Amino acid sequence: MSHNAESTAFRSALEVIRAVEPRVADAIGAELTDQRESLKLIASENYASPATLLAMGNWFSDKYAEGTVGRRFYAGCQNVDTVEALAAEHARELFGAAHAYVQPHSGIDANLVAFWAVLADRVESPALKKAQVRQVNDLTEADWFALRRELGNQRMLGMSLDAGGHLTHGFRPNISGKMFDQRSYGTDPATGLIDYDRVAEAAREFKPLILVGGYSAYPRKVNFRILREIADSVGATFMVDMAHFAGLVAGKVFTGDFDPVPHAHIVTTTTHKSLRGPRGGMVLCQPELADQVDRGCPMVLGGPLPHVMAAKAVALAEARRPDFADYAQRIVDNAQALADGLLRRGATLVTGGTDNHLVLIDVSGYGLTGRQAEQALLDSGIVTNRNSVPQDPNGAWYTSGIRIGTPALTTRGLGTAEMDQTAELIHTVLTQTTAGANADGTPSKAKYTLDADLADKVARQATDLLAPHPLYPAINLT
C-alpha cells in the first residue's frame, strides 16, 4: 500500500463515519493526535500497523462463526475459515507451537480457555455439568467450594500480584480465583528475583493442578525449563502466560530456557503488547490439549470475531518477517538504556534493572505514591501506569510503583539516546512533584503538587523528542 493509499483509506473511513456520527469521527481523530504527541510508555500498549488496523474494519465483522475451521454452527463461513486457518498457521510457525487457537477476544479469555481445557482434560464432573445450567452470578462461595471439591479440589500456584503476577492467575476478584484454590509464589525480598527453590518448595507443599509462569510487571527473564521441572515433580500442568513478552519470544530475543513454548504444556498470550497486533488473545498448546482448547467456543467464548482474526493473521505475518527480530531486540536495548538512565539519576528500580521490555520504578524514593506519580507524569505528556511493587505498603490501588515499557516508542523508531532523554524527563517530573494533603491535614495518597509551567515545559520537550519520529507518517487526515 502506498503512502497516499494509507491516507486515503483512513480519511475516507472517517468521512463515512462522520456522515453518521461526527462526534465519533472527531474522537478517533483526536486519539491519533494524542498518541502522536504523547510519550507512550505503557508497557502493555503498542501501535499496530495500518494493514493490521484496516483488517479489522470490514465485512468479517458481520459474520457469526461459532465452532472451528471446517466445523461451524453457521453456514457461509468459508472465508472465515481461510483467515482463521492463516492466523493459526502463522502462529504455529512463528512460535514453533504444535497447535494454535486464535479465537480468544482477550488475554483473560485466553487464560479461561486454558484453565477450562486443563480441567476438562483432567476430569468429567457431574457438579460441573450442573453448574453450567445456572447463572454464574447466582453461585455462592459455598457453591464454588463444592464445585472445586467435586473437580478434585483444584489448585493453582502462580506469581503474586505484588511480585508482578496477573489478576487472572487465581486471584479472588477474578473468576480464576473462584475456579481454583490459589497460592502465590513471590520474589526474593533482597533481590526482587524469582527464587526457584522456594517455588519448588511451595509446589511440593501445595501440590497444584496448574503451575502458572509469566507476569505483567516482572522486569527479568524467567527460566521456564526449571519451572517445567518443578511442575513435573508434582504432576502439575505447566501453563505460561506470555502476554507481555510474546514479541520477544517471536523475535527470538528469548530463546532456550527463556522461551516458554518448548517447555509449557499450554501457553496463552495477547496479540497486542510487544507482538504489535490487534487487541485479542491466543492459546498455544501441546497436541494432547488441542481438542479441549478448540472447544473454547462455546465452552468459554461467545462468537469469534472474524475481523479481529483477520487482523491477527496480518500481524502474525508481519512478525514472521526478518525485521521483526531486529525490532524485538531494540525493545530490550531501549528498556535497558531507559533503566540505566533512571539509575544514574538516582531512581530505585525493582530488581535494579531489566532483561525485557519493562522497567518498574519504586517511586516511594521520591516521596510519592504510584497514583500521584502517574498523574503528574500524565500532566507532563508522559503516559505510564501505576503498579504495585513487592511488599507494597500502598496496596494495589494507590501503589508505590510506576511501570514503564518500550514497545511503543521502539515502534516509532526511538533509540537508546532518546531513552536517556526520556529518563531525564521522568526524573525531572518526579523530583519536582510533592505529595499533597487531605482537608484534615493528613497525608494524601492521591493529591499532589506540580508547577504547571514545569509540566508544560516537559510536555513540550516530550513533543520535541518525538518530532523526528512521527507516528504513522504516511497517514494525513487533513
Q: Residue 453's domain is classified under what CATH number? A: 3.90.1150.10
Calculate mean pLDDT across residues 161-188: 78
Residues 377, 453 within the same domain: yes
Q: Which of 11, 18, 225, 279 is catalytic?
A: 279
Q: What pLDDT is stored for residue 125 in this prediction?
A: 43
Active site residue 288: no
Tens digits of residue pLDDT in 401-434: 999 999 999 999 999 999 999 999 999 999 999 9
Tens digits of residue pLDDT in 251-283: 999 999 999 999 999 999 999 999 999 999 999
Residues 112, 246 within the same domain: yes
State residue 121 phi and psi, 5-degree precision. Answer: -70, -30
3-state secondary structure of 383: strand
CATH number for position 111: 3.40.640.10
**Total length of the chain:** 478
Per the domain annotation, does 381 fall within a domain? yes
What DSSP element (H or E) covers 50? helix 50-55
pLDDT at 118 over 80: yes
Active site residue 344: no
Residues 63, 138 within the same domain: yes
Calculate mean pLDDT across residues 191-199: 94
| Cα distance between residue 216 and residue 245, in whole Å | 9
Q: What pLDDT is stored for residue 144 in this prediction?
A: 65
Please report, for residues 74, 91, 264, 304, the alpha-carbon distance to residue 66 in angstroms, rounded to integers and kept in the order given.
7, 20, 28, 6
Q: What pLDDT is stored for residue 137 in this prediction?
A: 53
3-state secondary structure of 196: helix
Tens digits of residue pLDDT in 135-159: 445 667 777 677 666 655 588 899 9
Per the domain annotation, does 428 fall within a domain? yes
The residue whose grid cell reads 486519539 is 31
Q: Which of 40, 72, 178, 273 is catalytic?
A: 273
pLDDT at 387 over 60: yes
Residues 425, 444 within the same domain: yes
Q: What pLDDT is stored for residue 191 in this prediction?
A: 92
The half-sphere exposure of 277 on its side-chain side, counting CA atoms within 13 A, is 34
Active site residue 34: no
pLDDT at 124 over 70: no
Calculate mean pLDDT across residues 437-463: 94
Per the domain annotation, does 187 fall within a domain? no
Residues 442, 394 within the same domain: yes
DSSP 8-state secondary structure symbol assigned to residue 53? H
Residues 251, 334 within the same domain: no
Q: What pLDDT is stored for residue 300 in this prediction?
A: 86
Per the domain annotation, does 204 fall within a domain? no
Calculate mean pLDDT across residues 60-80: 91
Residues 276, 399 within the same domain: no
Domain edge (last residue) among 319, 351, 385: 319
Domain edge (last residue) among 288, 319, 350: 319
Tens digits of residue pLDDT in 341-373: 999 999 999 999 999 999 999 999 999 999 999
3-state secondary structure of 267: strand
Of the chain, the percentage scoring pLDDT greater than 90 comes to 76
Cα dihedral across residues 60, 64, 66, 67: positive or negative: negative
Residues 259, 113 within the same domain: yes
Active site residue 270: yes
Q: Which of 84, 109, 181, 241 is catalytic?
A: 241
Residues 358, 454 within the same domain: yes
Q: Which of 168, 270, 384, 411 is catalytic?
A: 270
Per the domain annotation, does 11 fall within a domain? no
What DSSP element (H or E) covers 465? helix 452-466
Domain edge (last residue) among 252, 287, 319: 319
Residues 301, 405 within the same domain: no
Active site residue 412: no
Q: What pLDDT is stored for residue 366 in this prediction?
A: 96
Per the domain annotation, does 309 fall within a domain? yes
Per the domain annotation, does 26 fall within a domain? no
Residues 32/374, Cβ–Cβ less than 8 Å: no
The half-sphere exposure of 464 on its side-chain side, counting CA atoms within 13 A, is 8
Query: How many domains does the structure of the chain reveal?
Result: 2
Range with the poorest average pLDDT among 207-211, 299-303, 461-465 = 299-303
| Cα distance between residue 196 and residue 289, in whole Å | 26
Q: What pLDDT is stored for residue 196 in this prediction?
A: 96
pTM assigned to the model: 0.90
Calculate mean pLDDT across residues 374-388: 95
Range of the domain at 374: 323-466
Residues 394, 409 within the same domain: yes
133 band by pLDDT with thresholds 50, 70 and 90: very low
pLDDT at 394 over 60: yes
Active site residue 318: no
Residues 108, 238 within the same domain: yes
Angle at 111 (CA atoms; ends 94, 40), nearest 5 degrees: 70
pLDDT at 123 over 80: no
Calculate mean pLDDT across residues 434-463: 94
Per the domain annotation, does 221 fall within a domain? no
